[in-house]
């Protein structure tokens, strides 16, 4: 009927075809949320499979107050980026790895998860539908945020009976307000991010709100972010609120091994591969805070932060400064990674996905 046809048209968003969104300062993006046009949505109910998802207009969700995610934190998120290459190609970086990580996280949090194919397709659809928000080459990226949340109502503590897989996106530039200037990090030995047997190794939403308090305190004192120590010995570095951490001493690069308390960062493992191929020795092991203080160089990695050079660390009232400037290992790795991501450096790993 005409009524049904017009209802369909209302639900079916029109993809906008202009090349770039207007009224946006591409030179000063930062990492704030900018509302884009569309998001992807798919639900999974009792039969344990996700329905075919669809793009809908970006907007608020309607949720039961008893939704599992609201009451018991049953939720996971992911982060990946779409960039515009200089040749105009639209490129994603290893979205299959985000899909796999979501599946592993979903198993830990007793949730159903979308297939790798559906996840990657959803990321592509979201990037394409919001193409006018993908910054010009070299100005930043479209940060894509897949979410998997328990939307079914549940009162007693148990898994929800309905899950929603959502993907939204926002154009971003540098994560830290410092831009690309070296970060000043603070080692907190009072608060811990997670502990053995917890969910620190997966991208559960429950890992992030508990670090807000130490993070805000550190920011009030002028630090960029916080380094957390292991909760048992209070001796080994684990990760930073928003990223993984690496130290360089001589020609050896070391990073804490992923033993369930540390997020298995996709940038982390890509940097390990790139560093080894560039001839560095890379060790994944326990890294004591004392070694951090004695390192030649320190850097952090993450999808949002990419590779960020650390200029100083403050721990127990002592501040150490690291070498910065030209010739840094972190800058060498950063250039190689970003070169691959934007299609300028040969992608021998097959990490890049054309949309």
Point out the residues that are catalytic: 203
CA distance 344 to 355: 16
DSSP 16: P
Instruction: Answer yes or no whether residue 97 interacts with ligand COI by CB under 6 A.
Output: no
Number of H helices, E strands in the chain: 8, 17
Q: Which is nearer to ligand COI, 67 or 307 (CB)?
A: 307
Phi, psi of 271, deg, nearest 5: -65, -35
Q: Which is nearer to ligand COI, 162 or 238 (CB)?
A: 238
Cross-strand bridge partners of residue 297: 248
The one segment of 84-92, 215-223, 291-299, 302-310 that binds ligand COI by CB under 6 A: 302-310
Provide, rounded to whole angstroms, the least separation between the CB of residue 80 and ligand COI: 7
Provide, rounded to whole angstroms, the least separation between the CB of residue 143 and ligand COI: 7
Q: Which is nearer to ligand COI, 239 or 297 (CB)?
A: 239
Instruction: Answer yes or no whether residue 171 interacts with ligand COI by CB under 6 A.
Output: no
Q: Which is nearer to ligand COI, 101 or 124 (CB)?
A: 101
DSSP 153: B
Contact with ligand COI (CB under 6 A): which of 36, 130, 242, 341?
242
Which residue's beta carbon is nearest to the bound ligand COI?
Answer: 79
Q: Which is nearer to ligand COI, 100 or 304 (CB)?
A: 304
CA distance 329 to 331: 5
Contact with ligand COI (CB under 6 A): which of 200, 256, 302, 311?
302
Extended strands (E) in 174-321: 183-188, 225-229, 237-240, 244-249, 252-256, 281-285, 297-302, 306-315, 318-321
Contact with ligand COI (CB under 6 A): which of 74, 113, 303, 309?
303
Provide, rounded to whole angstroms, the least separation between the CB of residue 9 and ligand COI: 35
Residue 5 token pair: 């046809």
Contact with ligand COI (CB under 6 A): which of 53, 75, 79, 150?
79
**Cα–Cα distances in angstroms (integers) from residue 52 to residues 91, 103, 147, in the given order:** 24, 18, 16
Q: Which is nearer to ligand COI, 79 or 105 (CB)?
A: 79
Q: Which is nearer to ligand COI, 79 or 311 (CB)?
A: 79
CA distance 129 to 183: 35
Cross-strand bridge partners of residue 204: 76
Provide, rounded to whole angstroms, the least separation between the CB of residue 220 and ligand COI: 19
The one segment of 67-75, 190-198, 222-230, 300-308 that binds ligand COI by CB under 6 A: 300-308
Element at 46 (helix H, strand E): none
Burial 15-42 (b: 16+ CB within 10 A, else e): eeeeeebeeeeeeebebeeeebbbbbbb
Instruction: Answer yes or no whether residue 304 interacts with ligand COI by CB under 6 A.
Output: yes
Provide, rounded to whole angstroms, the least separation between the CB of residue 303 and ligand COI: 3
Provide, rounded to whole angstroms, the least separation between the CB of residue 304 and ligand COI: 3
Q: At what angle do helices 266-277 and 95-108 cross, to 10 degrees?
A: 130
Helix, strand, coil percentages, rounded to 5, for the chain: 25, 30, 45
The one segment of 6-14, 58-66, 187-195, 296-304 that binds ligand COI by CB under 6 A: 296-304
Provide, rounded to whole angstroms, the least separation between the CB of residue 81 and ligand COI: 8
The one segment of 21-29, 64-72, 287-295, 297-305 that binds ligand COI by CB under 6 A: 297-305
CA distance 66 to 108: 21
| CA-based nearest residue to 307, from 345, 255, 262, 251 | 255
Catalog residues that contact ligand COI under the rule CB under 6 A. Answer: 79, 242, 302-304
């Amino acid at each position: 009927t005409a009524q049904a046809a017009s209802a369909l048209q209302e639900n079916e968003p029109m993809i906008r075809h202009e090349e770039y969104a207007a009224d946006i300062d591409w030179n000063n993006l930062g990492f704030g949320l900018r509302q884009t046009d569309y998001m992807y949505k798919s639900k999974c109910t009792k039969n344990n499979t996700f329905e075919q998802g669809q793009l809908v207009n970006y907007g608020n969700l309607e949720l039961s107050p008893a939704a599992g995610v609201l009451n018991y934190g049953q939720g996971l998120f992911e982060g990946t980026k779409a960039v515009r290459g200089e040749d105009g190609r639209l490129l994603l970086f290893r979205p299959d790895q985000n899909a796999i990580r979501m599946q592993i996280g979903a198993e830990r949090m007793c949730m159903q998860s979308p297939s790798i194919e559906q996840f990657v397709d959803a990321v592509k659809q979201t990037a394409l539908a919001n193409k006018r928000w993908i910054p010009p080459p070299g100005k930043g990226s479209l940060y894509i945020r897949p979410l998997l949340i328990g939307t079914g109502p549940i009162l007693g503590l148990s898994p929800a009976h309905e899950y929603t897989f959502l993907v939204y996106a926002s154009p971003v530039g540098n994560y830290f307000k410092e831009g690309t200037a070296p970060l000043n990090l603070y080692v907190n030995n009072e608060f811990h991010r997670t502990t053995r047997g917890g969910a620190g190794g997966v991208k559960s939403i429950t890992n992030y709100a508990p670090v807000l308090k130490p993070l805000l305190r550190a920011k009030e004192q002028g630090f960029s972010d916080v380094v957390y120590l292991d909760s048992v010995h209070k001796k080994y570095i684990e990760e930073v609120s928003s990223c993984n951490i690496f130290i360089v001493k001589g020609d050896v690069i070391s990073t804490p091994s992923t033993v369930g308390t540390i997020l298995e960062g996709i940038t982390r493992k890509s940097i390990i591969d790139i560093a080894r191929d560039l001839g560095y020795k890379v060790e994944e092991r326990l890294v004591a805070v004392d070694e951090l203080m004695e390192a030649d160089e320190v850097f952090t990695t993450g999808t949002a932060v990419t590779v960020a050079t650390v200029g100083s660390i403050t721990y127990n009232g002592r501040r150490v400064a690291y070498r910065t400037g030209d010739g840094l290992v972190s800058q060498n790795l950063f250039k190689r990674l970003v070169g691959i991501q934007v299609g300028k450096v040969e992608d021998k790993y097959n990490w890049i996905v054309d949309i």
